[in-house]
């Protein structure tokens, strides 16, 4: 007789997805506010501070995504970091329009 499926892993993955979503939302909001502040002529320190925060959020999103969804096997090379901030992806071309990497990229 087959043992019942343990949904714990799926629950844990769902929680990680939730955190990734929150980070992505914060990143988008920070970028929107940077644009608005720059348009309104806000002090440069506010614009610079939010730009730094947006970049940090993107880096953290990519780090969490790489370590949870694309873990490096023992002795393997880590996935590349996002090199081009304008591209704002993991630096890996998606396999198909509906691939996980494309859906998860900021």
Whether 9 is in a domain gets the answer no
Q: Is the pLDDT of residue 52 over 60?
A: yes
**Helix (H) or strand (E) segment spanning residue 26:** helix 8-40
The predicted pLDDT at position 85 comes to 47
The predicted pLDDT at position 96 comes to 46
Range of lowest pLDDT (21-25, 50-54, 56-60, 101-105):
101-105
Residue identified by tokens 């806000």 is 42
Whether 12 is in a domain gets the answer no
Q: Is the pLDDT of residue 105 over 50?
A: yes
Whether 2 is in a domain gets the answer no
Whether 69 is in a domain gets the answer yes
Whether 38 is in a domain gets the answer yes
What is the chain's length?
106
DSSP per residue over 39-103, as a string? HHT--HHHHHHHHHHHHHHHHHHHHHHHHHTSPPPTTPPPPPP---TTT-S-SS--SSTT-HHHH
Q: How many CB atoms lie within 10 A of CB 68?
A: 14
Residue 68 neighbours by CB under 8 Å, 6+ apart = 13, 16
The parent domain of residue 27 ranges over 17-104
Whether 47 is in a domain gets the answer yes
pTM of this prediction exceeds 0.75 = no
């Amino acid at each position: 007789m087959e043992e019942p499926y343990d949904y714990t892993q799926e629950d844990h993955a769902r929680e990680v997805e939730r955190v990734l979503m929150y980070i992505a939302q914060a990143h988008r909001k920070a970028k929107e506010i940077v644009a608005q502040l720059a348009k309104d002529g806000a002090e440069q320190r506010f614009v610079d501070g939010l730009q730094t925060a947006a970049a940090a959020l993107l880096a953290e999103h990519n780090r969490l995504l790489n370590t949870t969804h694309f873990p490096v096997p023992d002795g393997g090379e880590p996935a590349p970091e996002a090199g081009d901030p304008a591209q704002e992806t993991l630096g890996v071309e998606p396999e198909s329009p509906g691939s996980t990497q494309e859906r998860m990229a900021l």
